[in-house]
């Protein structure tokens, strides 16, 4: 069954979708693609993992296929801005199969890579430029890129760009873009600043929304373990040993904490790697590649990976440390249960993280079921102190509450790559 042909895309693009094994559009694609094809500016709101990349990528490619002529040197016809290197690479990887067989070119520019090589790449021009704002401004300052021919602008994960201070970069980039142009803004949340951003850069946008901001994907089973900080390492190993080889993404709050946790896991025989801001782009790319291939089964990350990792096979997301920003919890756990699959999100909550958990539950408008432990009186969830009694999914052999104490004095068994 192929349903993309109902969206009004060109025959060649429908063929590319079929060759890439895409058959049915997601709700955000169903809503956004026809409006974007008609030329409207788009404000898209959808939780992570719902197919936002194709929601803007399909109409973008369709428009470019209909435009004659190749790009002039140093120019681009379309610009996609994303906040992180990982997300830039993921967007490009998602779009490349859809331009296979056409003359459209996709180029990426991010920090942490040779700027000289990127200057040479842009010298011949490109149809779609996917970039992080900081590196793009570096290239603009060196006069290596001319954005005057850009007629399509996409701001992906715009809320995270605001959080990371990229609004100042956007103010430098926007005046250099061509006009008239179509602008599409996609975000998982809708802070007040986003309304201001849309008024500044979008013209009479059509708003599409498929899930309330802060809502996690329906197929994610959530649970929380209340435990002292010192017991987190043992609980993590206990959970990892229940499903050896399953792809597990573990989030740490700090770069130092992520690296220390990863080294401890490797010392105990786990196939683990880490990605964070102190890693080079090459190291980060190799870690994600190994994780996607199953050569690495445990990836420890900071919030640099909360958005930008699209690996359908991630079975578990473990919040070793709760995030400082509630919205980041939703983005983190959205790394599992992707592409219609099921997934499990497990959180560790130490006594000093109680306020963070309350904020997370307030944003999600629901309580996370308790798998083990109890919170200090007056601190649990909405202040009830009750244990919701979360159960783990039985299809992983976990039909009872995860309340067993972590084993002591036993070295976790070594595991082979999945």
The answer to whether residue 8 scores a pLDDT higher than 60 is: yes
For the chain, the average pLDDT equals 85
List the domain range (segments joined by +) for residue 273. 220-396
> Does 325 share its domain with 197?
no
> Does 257 share its domain with 303?
yes
pTM of the model: 0.70
Query: What is the Cα–Cα distance from 212 to 99, expressed in whole angstroms?
Result: 32
pLDDT, greater one: 390 or 63: 63
Q: Quick check: is 215 in a domain?
A: no
pLDDT in tens, 258-296: 999 999 999 999 999 999 888 887 888 899 889 989 999
Among residues 184, 209, 234, the one where a domain terminates is 209
Q: Quick check: is 94 in a domain?
A: yes
Banded model confidence at residue 213, pLDDT cuts 50, 70, 90 = low
**Adjacent-strand bridge partners of 131:** 81, 109
Rg (CA), the chain: 22
The answer to whether residue 80 scores a pLDDT higher than 60 is: yes
> Does 158 share its domain with 27?
yes
pLDDT in tens, 96-114: 999 998 999 999 999 988 9
CATH of the domain at 175: 3.40.50.300
**Six-digit token string for 160:** 């995270």
> Does 46 share its domain with 184?
yes
Q: Give start and end residues of each alpha helix (H) in 74-225.
A: 85-99, 115-123, 133-141, 158-163, 167-173, 192-201
> Does 335 share its domain with 378?
yes
Residue 406 DSSP symbol: P
Residue range 298-313: mean pLDDT, rounded: 79
> Does 90 share its domain with 205?
yes
Q: Quick check: is 304 in a domain?
A: yes
> Does 19 share its domain with 131?
yes
Residues with Cβ within 8 Å of residue 229, at least 6 apart in sequence: 350, 352
Q: Answer for the pair 232, 320: CB distance below 8 angstroms, yes or no.
A: yes
> Does 290 share its domain with 246?
yes
> Does 75 share its domain with 119?
yes
Q: Quick check: is 99 in a domain?
A: yes
Among residues 164, 179, 209, the one where a domain terminates is 209
> Does 203 share its domain with 257?
no
Q: What own/partner pairs with CB < 8 Å and gap ≥ 24 does 198-207 have?
A: 198/43, 201/153, 201/155, 201/170, 201/174, 202/41, 202/42, 202/43, 203/41, 204/40, 204/41, 205/40, 205/41, 205/42, 205/43, 206/35, 206/40, 206/41, 206/42, 206/43, 207/43, 207/44, 207/45
Q: Please work out, in degrees rounded to the nearest 5, the angle formed at the alpha carbon of residue 200 by the alpha carbons of 195 and 168.
A: 95
Cis check for the bond before 180: say yes or no (omega within 30 of 0). Answer: yes
> Does 225 share its domain with 278?
yes
Q: Answer for the pair 202, 153: CB distance below 8 angstroms, yes or no.
A: no
> Does 71 share its domain with 198?
yes
pLDDT in tens, 222-236: 999 999 999 999 999
pLDDT in tens, 147-168: 999 999 999 988 878 777 788 8
Residue range 18-37: mean pLDDT, rounded: 92
């Amino acid at each position: 069954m192929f349903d993309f042909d109902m969206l009004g895309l060109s025959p060649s693009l429908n063929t590319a979708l079929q060759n890439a094994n895409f058959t049915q559009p997601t709700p955000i694609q169903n809503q956004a693609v026809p409006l974007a094809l008609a030329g409207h500016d788009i404000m898209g709101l959808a939780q992570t993992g719902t197919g936002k990349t194709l929601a803007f990528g399909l109409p973008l490619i369709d428009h470019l296929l209909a435009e004659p002529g190749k790009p002039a040197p140093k120019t681009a016809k379309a610009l996609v801005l994303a906040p992180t290197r990982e997300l830039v690479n993921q967007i490009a990887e998602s779009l490349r199969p859809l331009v296979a067989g056409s003359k459209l070119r996709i180029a990426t520019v991010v920090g942490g890579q040779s700027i000289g090589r990127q200057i040479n790449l842009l010298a011949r021009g490109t149809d779609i430029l996917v970039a992080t704002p900081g590196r793009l401004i570096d290239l603009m300052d060196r006069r290596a890129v001319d954005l005057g021919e850009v007629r399509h602008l996409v701001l992906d994960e715009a809320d995270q760009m605001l959080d990371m201070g990229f609004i100042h970069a956007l103010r430098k980039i926007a005046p250099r873009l061509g006009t008239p142009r179509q602008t599409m803004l996609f975000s998982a949340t809708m802070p007040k600043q986003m309304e201001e951003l849309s008024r500044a850069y979008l013209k009479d946008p059509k708003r599409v929304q498929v899930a309330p901001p802060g809502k996690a994907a329906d197929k994610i089973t959530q649970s929380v373990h209340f435990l002292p900080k010192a017991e987190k390492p043992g609980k993590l190993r206990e959970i990892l040993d229940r499903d050896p080889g399953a792809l597990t993404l573990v989030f740490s709050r700090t770069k130092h904490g992520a690296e220390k946790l990863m080294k401890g896991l490797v010392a105990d025989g786990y196939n683990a790697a880490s990605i964070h801001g102190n890693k080079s782009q090459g190291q980060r790319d190799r870690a994600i590649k190994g994780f996607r291939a199953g050569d690495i089964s445990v990836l420890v990350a900071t919030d640099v990976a909360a958005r930008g990792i699209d690996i359908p096979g991630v079975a578990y997301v473990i919040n070793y440390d709760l995030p400082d920003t509630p919205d980041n919890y939703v983005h983190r756990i959205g790394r599992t249960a992707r592409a219609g699959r099921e997934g499990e999100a497990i959180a560790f909550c130490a006594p000093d993280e109680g306020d963070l958990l309350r904020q997370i539950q307030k944003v999600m408008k629901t309580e996370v079921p308790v798998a083990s432990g109890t919170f200090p009186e007056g601190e649990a969830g909405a202040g009830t102190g009750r244990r919701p009694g979360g159960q783990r999914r039985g299809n992983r052999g976990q039909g009872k509450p995860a309340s067993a104490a972590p084993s002591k004095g036993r070295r976790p068994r070594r595991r082979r790559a999945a």
